Chains A and B, each alone.
Chain A
Amino acid sequence: EDKVVQSPLSLVVHEGDTVTLNCSYEVTNFRSLLWYKQEKKAPTFLFMLTSSGIEKKSGRLSSILDKKELFSILNITATQTGDSAVYLCAFIRDDKIIFGKGTRLHILP
């Protein structure tokens, strides 16, 4: 059975800290892994990762995929209170997006 496991489930850090969120997966017919940020409403897209070892960056956020060890990490440096959200890892299977349970990140001022 396909599964995606995110860790930690919840994380509280101080502003300025760097955080690393983890996503491990076991998926047949894996195509891509996606990261989303969800605040109060619908998720907003962060990254799509298809190839192993290639880091994607967007400002203070970066992500990389390891297809051999079956995991991805999402890094946020110099965190700000606006980074507080649930971060969702998802994979594409049979043209559907299946979500993990998410990591709830809270940044203290």
Chain B
Amino acid sequence: GAVVSQHPSWVICKSGTSVKIECRSLDFQATTMFWYRQFPKQSLMLMATSNEGSKATYEQGVEKDKFLINHASLTLSTLTVTSAHPEDSSFYICSASSGTWNTEAFFGQGTRLTVV
């Protein structure tokens, strides 16, 4: 199957700093990428949908100024958590789709963010 690489796998940062998470599709062109957040023992919550070359569409309740999403190419999307605080500590997962729903979207390995 297709490979989606997410980096870093885990990161610890100080409160007030910004953290960038990368999501790359390695062997296909991802016209759409999705960013999810998952708290312990809870399900994945969709944060935003990004289409290559367009502004991301954020789900209700997600602060677009706090979670900056860039999808500048067909193989790369980034999520930047700006001015991170301890409550932003979570597991962030991206998934990528070629845009056809005949096949499933492919997930990155996830990034565990801890803000101290």
Contact = CB atoms under 8 A, between A and B. Distances in A.
Contacts of B104: 34, 45, 48
Interface string B32-51: 10101000011111100100
A101 B101 CA distance: 22
A21 interface: no
B109 A41 contact: yes
Contact of B46 (A41, A43, A98): A98
Contacts of A44: 107
B interface residue count range (under 10 / 10 to 19 / 20 to 34 / 35 or more): 20 to 34
Contact of B107 (A42, A100, A102): A42
B78 interface: no
Interface in B1-30: 1, 6
A64 B34 CA distance: 26
8 contacts: A42-B110, A43-B93, A45-B1, A95-B101, A96-B34, A97-B34, A97-B46, A104-B41
Interface of A: 31-32, 34, 41-45, 48, 88, 92, 95-102, 104
